[in-house]
Amino acid sequence: MIKQTLLVPLAGCLLAAACAQAIAAPNPYSNFVVFGDSLNDAGQFTDTGGPAGATQRFTNRTGPVYLDGSGEFRSLNSTQLLGGRLGFSADQTAASTSAVRANQGLVDGNNWAVGGYRTDQILDSITTESATGERTRPGYLPTNNFRADPNALYYISGGGNDFLQGRVLNTAQANTAANQLADSVQTLQTAGAKYIVVWLLPDLGLTPAVNGTPLQASISQLSTDFNQQLVTRLAGINAEIIPLNIPLLLQESFADPARFGLATDQNLTATCFSGSGCTQNAVYGINSATPDPSKLIYNDSVHPTEAGQKLIADYAYSLLSAPWELTLLPEMAHATLRAHQDELRSQWQSDWENWQAVGQWRAIVAGGGQHLDFDSQSSGASADGSGYNLNIGGSYRLNEAWRVGVAAGFYRQNLDAGSNDSDYKLNSYLATAFAQFQQNRWWADAALTGGKLDYDNLERKFDMGAGEGGEKGDTDGHLWAFSTRLGYDIAQPGSEWHLSPFISADYAEVEVDGYSENSTRSTALTFDDQTRDSKRLGVGLQGKYNFTRQTQVFGEYAYEREYEDDVQKVNMALNSLPANDFTLEGYTPQSHLNRVSLGVSHKLSADLALRGGYTFRKDDDFTQQGISVGVALDF
């Protein structure tokens, strides 16, 4: 954010392993491309005060000495931290136009941000050329045949140098600078870019460079003017633009520093770590008895310390990762529905060729538990959960061939998702009407299910600086489903065993109502409605064997093809910026399911039977298990 003629020596990329920080985590993006100024510069310039061959960044050194000549690199900036967490390598997140890297024979990275760039120069780095003073090369679009990768994640900040270089002195000039930054976003979108993260300009009046001076009020107002024009322009660009409300994030850190692990007894807006262009903090500054940049927001007059860099990276990741977890909410409901259907089928299997007498009722009561396990996908978070259920119902035999019935179920499901174990809870209230046919070795069943969904505690958790952040909400939903099967028993009448191939068809629709998380913090989001349909056809084989007149075992295997397997998406917006919504990808249902169920039934008397069952359902990224114990009573 400072002029190129005033640049101070800063460091280049750290060791590759440290830069990448790659972990096994979701990443739906093919590339990570950055534009901006010194706030995002990953090392375009030579670090004359660092180790040989190092490049500079605009933050503190890694310590413990922190001084030039100490042999220490500069800490990673927020884009490198974010890129590493998304799984991109150190080379991918490195500077695009570094003479140091070029001289070392290293590949150019995808970070085009250059310290000192104004908004017009950021646009030039996209459309014409990138120039650092040490090296010049064609800009991003000329380098890439004037096409932007639609599957890449783009990341842009800028505007500070327009102020610091005296080009923003009134609202009209602030609007001009904001329009130039928005033009960069528009240009990328026109070239094909779809996903673009954009910073709102920090309140420059709260930086040590301006804080406490006569210019503070006017600079703060012009920063606000800049952001108002920027968000207005961004709302009109046809791309998925993820705005980062950096001004609000910094206000929160100043108001509650303990939440982020920052010093609680220091002036975080008027002091800095290095003393470069500002008042060095007496307790944690570089020349103090206890230097510690992790306790301060600012490294110098305008640039963040390692703590500020991590805070910004965590903030961006919390927004990008939200749909990876939230698109699991409909999957929780589908899993509950399947557990309910499994319980009914287990009862039907135990009753196979053993219905109650014509004109008689059979009541059922069953309780059980279930466990879910979602593996991480490119745009879906890993998660696991458990729950319990209670089902009651009954059937009435109309005649020799037909039986009808009803059942109701209550299900409680907990799901822990993501790297911070976000906690999502669902209460489901389900009701089913069913009919069964059984004659001349042919059999069939059909069931219609409806249900109310109560997501009574949705707690999204994420890293936030030195601590953990979280946002809470709750919502409702509903589901309905229809399922049917047709089979033929190949065993002879009166046999002790039964074996039957069958075909099945299932349709289900789950809708989760949109909701807003219960705060106005920078991390709080509002989510639109989510609808997830399921259409499945299947084939299977079920069997049963009578050990004695009282005891029988039964089981089933089914293979089902899912025809609604498109990636799920959710539209959302920051509560603090409700007009700037965006849609991101989440969980992808698998195209097939394998299901195995086993059970045993034992008659305690002529009218009372005890039953137990186990069900296992598996696809490439999803596992569901359930157990149940129930009783059936004829009357």
In 339-441, beta strands by DSSP E: 361-374, 383-397, 402-417, 422-439
494: DSSP letter: T
Range scoring the smallest mean pLDDT among 231-235, 275-279, 603-607: 603-607
Active site residue 628: no
Contact between 345 and 352 under an 8 Å Cβ cutoff? The reply is no
Q: Taking the CB of residue 248, how many other CB atoms lie within 10 A of it?
A: 20
Active site residue 303: yes
Place of tokens 């327009």: 162
Please determine, for residue 376, whether its predicted confidence score (pLDDT) is greater than 90. yes
pLDDT of residue 3: 37
Distance set, CA 151 to CA 85, 240, 372 (Å):
17, 11, 30
Place of tokens 């870019």: 193
Q: Taking the CB of residue 137, how many other CB atoms lie within 10 A of it?
A: 16
Distance set, CA 263 to CA 281, 283, 284, 466 (Å):
11, 10, 9, 12
**Residue-wise pLDDT tens digits, 98-152:** 999 999 999 999 999 999 999 999 999 999 999 999 999 999 999 999 999 999 9
Q: Taking the CB of residue 310, how many other CB atoms lie within 10 A of it?
A: 24
pLDDT of residue 6: 33
CA distance 208 to 349: 74
Q: What is the CA radius of gyration of the chain?
A: 31
Please determine, for residue 512, whether its predicted confidence score (pLDDT) is greater than 60. yes
Active site residue 342: no
- What average pLDDT does range 188-207 have in this prediction? 98
pLDDT of residue 16: 36
**Residue-wise pLDDT tens digits, 384-437:** 999 999 999 999 999 999 999 999 999 999 999 999 999 999 999 999 999 999
Catalytic residue among 162, 303, 351, 619: 303
pLDDT of residue 493: 81
Range scoring the smallest mean pLDDT among 382-391, 487-496, 525-534, 584-593: 487-496
CA distance 208 to 439: 85
pTM for the predicted model, two decimal places: 0.93
Catalytic residue among 38, 125, 274, 428: 38
CA distance 259 to 140: 39
- What average pLDDT does range 322-351 have in this prediction? 96
pLDDT of residue 18: 38
Contact between 195 and 154 under an 8 Å Cβ cutoff? The reply is yes
**Amino acid identity of 366?**
A
Catalytic residue among 41, 162, 183, 300: 300
Contact between 298 and 278 under an 8 Å Cβ cutoff? The reply is yes
pLDDT of residue 24: 58
Write out the two tokens for 120.
Answer: 């017009």
pLDDT of residue 595: 95
CA distance 596 to 60: 57
**Residue-wise pLDDT tens digits, 360-369:** 999 999 999 9
CA distance 456 to 371: 19
Q: What are phi and psi of 27, to 5 degrees?
A: -160, 95
**Residue-wise pLDDT tens digits, 539-562:** 999 999 998 889 999 999 999 999
Q: Taking the CB of residue 147, how many other CB atoms lie within 10 A of it?
A: 10
